Amino acid sequence: MEIGMLAISRAGHDCGQTYMIIAFDNEYAYLADGKIKFLEKPKKKRWKHIQIIKKVSDQELAERLKTGQNVTNVEVKHAIRQYAKDKI
């Protein structure tokens, strides 16, 4: 797993919501969707409560997240929307 991958919430009031992994540690994944959970204040979820989608939606965006370059909430929202569009 890596930063930039998408994940779906499996538990909680946001069950079924798609997020982008923007950071992680041993116990938690930090998620943002660009609409409700922003990059500045990501959602903290335990690993067992999310399902990883083995896909990096936008490789260039993922690289910028990893290196700490400027990424906007609009770009995250667009990447998630593009995944949903491709999935259909």
What ranges make up the beta strands (E) of the chain?
A: 5-9, 18-24, 28-32, 43-46, 50-56
> What's the total number of domains in the chain?
1
Q: What is the CATH number of the domain that holds 53?
A: 2.30.30
What is the per-residue pLDDT for 9? 96
Measuring CA to CA, which residue among 16, 11, 17, 20 is closest to residue 42? 20
Domain range holding 37?
Answer: 5-87
Statement: residue 87 has pLDDT above 80: no
What is the per-residue pLDDT for 84? 85
Q: To the nearest whole number, what is the mean pLDDT of the chain?
A: 91
Per-residue pLDDT tens over the stretch 17-50: 999 999 999 999 999 999 999 999 999 999 999 9
Statement: residue 54 has pLDDT above 80: no
